[in-house]
Amino acid sequence: MLGRYMQHSVLVTGGAGFIGSNFVRLCVLERGIPVINVDKLTYAGNLGNVRDLEQKSGYSFLQADINDGPAIRDILRKFQPSAIVHFAAESHVDRSILGPDEFIQTNIHGTFQLLEEAKAYWNELSGTAKAQFRFLHVSTDEVFGSLKPDDPAFSESTPYAPNSPYSASKAASDHLVRAYHHTYAFPTLTTNCSNNYGPYQFPEKLIPLMIANGLSGKKLPVYGDGLNVRDWLYVTDHCEAILQVLQKGRIGETYNIGGCAEMTNLDVVNTICRTLDELRPRPDGTSHASLINFVKDRPGHDRRYAMDIRKIRNELGWSPKESFATGIRKTVSWYLDNSEWVESVTSGAYRDWMRTQYAGR
């Protein structure tokens, strides 16, 4: 079934962001799938993530906001995609705590507007084009809330219990996608993923922040006791899983995607420090771990996430290829080899945000 996307384009929203750009690169560079990349280019959207695709046949970039219905309508009618993969979202919990408005506007209203335009476009299709169209919505494990140490991992049937403005806005968008399938028979698919890491991740998130700060000799801020647990998923594994769902997923279904790599935040930071010690030792010979600085925990910090991926493994044959050990080494190496990219995204606005976020902690 994936072969049909070799001839017909996929519209990707948020394709200049972290996961979206990795997905676009996978499609265009490795699979020969034409992509229309639509991104508003907010602070985390960076055309540098896809700069080498600009001259590639079958690749198009358009700057547009998913809240702009007429713009999305024009793009759909012009390019006639056979699928939409929806990454566009505000995604940082800390930012949602300080300013939830943008999360409500983008994640809820933006998804609603995109669904409206996509449904209208789909209704205009006929025959094979209509039968093959898919709308794949990319979501997060955070919609399920927090787990206790001995709780079973989140499954696709776990009740929603979001605990931050970010996760609440993503939960709302998930419900909208589900409702459009059940009400209008709109051909949707939803994926819920665990914490991603890898190349092109904006350095406000834990792993790139620790790498960037470690390389600069700055403190490595760790919330609370550092024992919050996350399941870590290498971004290219995630992108491969999304393609599998797009190819073989059952319409109306949701699929959990995880890395099978539960670790405490402190273990993650220590692993990064050991990797930096090996690949880029500090001039004074001390370990990067000496830079670890425990700071006041953030409000409503979920204790543990874990993903049960048996459904996608059994139905679609996907499982992660990277262990955390192999993935984190690739990630640290990428940031070491791409210092200009890091410098370009850590602008004055980024430094202002860091001061706001960690001042007084």
d(CA 223, CA 264): 11
Token digits for 35? 């992509």
Residue 147's nearest CA partner among 256, 305, 298 is 305
Distance of CA 126 to the CA centre of its chain: 32
> Catalytic one among 166, 234, 305, 335?
166
Pairing assessment for the beta strands 83-86 and 10-13 based on DSSP bridges: parallel
CA angle 328/333/336 to nearest 5° reads 130
Token digits for 269? 């930071």
Do 28 and 269 form a contact (C-beta atoms < 8 A)? no
Measured from the Cβ of residue 321, the count of other Cβ atoms closer than 10 Å reads 12
d(CA 329, CA 216): 18
Q: What is the DSSP secondary structure assignment for residue 104, as one 8-state letter?
A: I
Active site annotation includes 101: no
Active site annotation includes 231: no
> Catalytic one among 65, 94, 117, 141?
141
CB within 8 Å of 314: residues ≥ 6 apart: none
> Catalytic one among 39, 90, 117, 142?
142
What CA–CA distances, in Å, run from 187 to 38, 57, 267, 321? 21, 28, 41, 29
* Start-to-end Cα distance in the chain: 51
Do 129 and 187 form a contact (C-beta atoms < 8 A)? no
Measured from the Cβ of residue 167, the count of other Cβ atoms closer than 10 Å reads 26
Token digits for 249? 């997923």
Active site annotation includes 141: yes
Check the CA dihedral 335-340-344-350 and report its sign.
positive
Do 103 and 165 form a contact (C-beta atoms < 8 A)? yes
Question: Catalytic residues, which ones?
Answer: 141-142, 166
